[in-house]
Amino acid sequence: MARIVTPTAFDAIDPAKRIRNVALTLLAVGVGVLVLWLLEGAGSTKLVQALALFAIWGVATVSLNLINGTLGILSLGHHGFMLIGGYTTGLLMLDEAARQRILTSARSTMTEETLALSVSNLLRGVGLDALTTPETLWVRFLIAIFLGGLLAAFAGLLVGTPSLRLRGDYLAIVTFGFGEIIRLTASTRLFSAYTNGALGFPGVTSEFGKSIWWTFGVLAFTVFVISKLKYSSYGRAMQAIREDEIAAQAMGVNVAYHKILGFVISAFFAGVAGGLWVSWLGGVRLDFFLFQLTFFFLVAISAGGTGSITGVLLGTAVVVFVRQYGDPLEENYTIQTWLYIASATLALAAAGAVLFRTLRRLRPRLHWGSWVLLGGAAVAAVVAAVDPAVIEGTFRGFGMRAIFLSVLLIVIMVFRPEGMLGRTEFSWSWLLREQRTGPTDEERTQDAWMSNPAFRSDAGAAASREVEGPSDAAAPDDDEGGR
């Protein structure tokens, strides 16, 4: 039996670089932990809150991307899964004071039995009284978000099942419908004993949702599980379903099983993210789980790059930053100021266009569109400087944050439809600019084999004899188009 004797490289990167990359990653994680620690000590509450929100939404976007990016199914029901996890965690973690307030409130629809549902009572029931002290609150929180995740995963199973029969847009509509059904069902009489109807309830501990350590810990765990899954055989099978469902099935992949598996795992982490989100907000209310939430996640995923976990996190960071620090966009300014802002924005857009065309090596660098932008900037600046009486007054930019995000998304979709990072994960080789300049020895050997007609008739035998043959790079390479 003829065997090929070429050394086979299983890994795309060589071992030495791999060790260096691991070391660099550990170093980066260490620096990150240090920075977080310093920020928590010295930074403002606002920054800490923003970071915690980034981590919570990161859990949600990374898990949503398992369905949208890896499995290739557009799912719009993530807010529903989060709601299940959030309400479960909220109910199970209500503190005693809040319980009493709800019980005595006239508008409350919750009953004594439903309010008695808590992790503490559960633990007392199984005789673990030691875990019901205030010091062990974290154990109870862990149990609560785990249970919330499990319930959400069960919902994921229910939503995943129709995904076997539907495809594309139709499936997206079904997932959206499921998300809304979950949300609206939670407010009906059927569940109002558990959810307190549309009112929800305050009094969920913020100790964990606003703690950088907890949220980043959960995020790290999520990224670990989802990335390990994506780069395992199961993840490859899921990506195969994304690429070509019929071919995947014809190659033995059990499409139904893998789709549902993806939905269940994704929903589990969505439920966990919902628990943290509720804790971050300090209470539960129906309008914390609007479709808007899923929309923000989709913006983050599309802006960052559906194929890449690091890209999704980058997109999440952008969205959370705009959400938390976008207040200046929505303040009351005079129209004169707005004109200056418009002028500066147009000038920046023109500068961005020039930069873009320079990077892409397009000529002329100053496209006529840039002149139009610059002209607009000049007009706005002149009008603002002259300040005619007709533009007296002030204007408040309500919703400017959402507009800003939308414009950002449009720009990314036009100029880089695959998202900021696209399909490539962040890698040290990319950061250190380790790009290849010429063919490797291995490639030269292959070229020699390809271009020597003597080897062509009987591939295997010739190759095993002549792999070390002289390189003949000058001969035309009629077979290979792509390098």
Partner 1 sequence: MAMLEVEHLRKSFGGLTATNDVSFHVNQGEIVSIIGPNGAGKSTVFNLITGVYRPDAGDVRFEGKSIVGKSTNQVVDLGIARTFQNLRLFTNLTVLENVLISQHHRLRSNWLAAVFRTPSYRRQERSMREVATEKLGFFGPRLQSFRLHQPVYVLSYANRRRTEMARAMATGAKLLLLDEPSAGMNPKETSEITQIIRRMRDEGGYTIVLVEHKMNLVGEISDRVVVLDYGEKIAEGEYRSVVNDPKVIEAYLGKKAADDKREELADG
Contact set with partner 1 (CB under 8 A): 1-4, 6-10, 12, 225, 228-229, 232-234, 236-237, 239-240, 243-244, 246-255, 261, 265, 307, 423, 440, 442-443, 445-446, 449-450, 455-460, 462-463, 467, 479-483
If the CB atoms of residues 137 and 152 are measured against partner 1, the closer one turns out to be 152
If the CB atoms of residues 7 and 125 are measured against partner 1, the closer one turns out to be 7
If the CB atoms of residues 168 and 460 are measured against partner 1, the closer one turns out to be 460
Smallest gap from residue 457 Cβ to partner 1 (A): 7
Smallest gap from residue 68 Cβ to partner 1 (A): 15
If the CB atoms of residues 10 and 368 are measured against partner 1, the closer one turns out to be 10
Query: What is the spatial distance between Cα 87 and Cα 89, in angstroms, rounded to a whole number?
Result: 5
SS3 (DSSP) at 350: helix
Residue (of 284, 374, 272, 268) closest to 94 by Cα position: 284
If the CB atoms of residues 248 and 284 are measured against partner 1, the closer one turns out to be 248
Q: Which residue has the tokens 């369905």?
A: 67
Query: What is the spatial distance between Cα 61 and Cα 269, in angstroms, rounded to a whole number?
Result: 10
If the CB atoms of residues 325 and 426 are measured against partner 1, the closer one turns out to be 426
Question: Could you tell me which residues are beta bridge partners of residue 267?
Answer: none
Smallest gap from residue 468 Cβ to partner 1 (A): 12
Smallest gap from residue 236 Cβ to partner 1 (A): 5
If the CB atoms of residues 214 and 449 are measured against partner 1, the closer one turns out to be 449
Smallest gap from residue 49 Cβ to partner 1 (A): 31
Smallest gap from residue 461 Cβ to partner 1 (A): 10
Query: What is the spatial distance between Cα 472 and Cα 360, in angstroms, rounded to a whole number?
Result: 34
Smallest gap from residue 445 Cβ to partner 1 (A): 8
If the CB atoms of residues 398 and 430 are measured against partner 1, the closer one turns out to be 430
Q: What is the 3-state secondary structure (H, E, C) of 189-238?
A: HHHHHHHCCCCCEECECCCCCCCHHHHHHHHHHHHHHHHHHHCCHHHHHH
Where does residue 222 rank: exposed (0-12), middle (13-18), buried (19+ CB within 10 A)?
buried
Encoded tokens for 45:
């509450």
Smallest gap from residue 269 Cβ to partner 1 (A): 12
Please name the residues in contact with 48: beta carbons below 8 A apart, sequence gap of 6 or more. Answer: 39, 40, 210, 212
Smallest gap from residue 9 Cβ to partner 1 (A): 5
Residue (of 292, 336, 315) closest to 420 by Cα position: 315
Smallest gap from residue 239 Cβ to partner 1 (A): 6
Please name the residues in contact with 255: beta carbons below 8 A apart, sequence gap of 6 or more. Answer: 164, 241, 245, 248, 249
**C-beta of residue 77 within 8 angstroms of C-beta of residue 274:** no
SS3 (DSSP) at 72: coil
Query: What is the spatial distance between Cα 63 and Cα 341, in angstroms, rounded to a whole number?
Result: 37
If the CB atoms of residues 3 and 433 are measured against partner 1, the closer one turns out to be 3
Residue (of 204, 35, 232, 200) closest to 105 by Cα position: 200
**C-beta of residue 391 within 8 angstroms of C-beta of residue 333:** no
If the CB atoms of residues 8 and 332 are measured against partner 1, the closer one turns out to be 8
SS3 (DSSP) at 116: coil
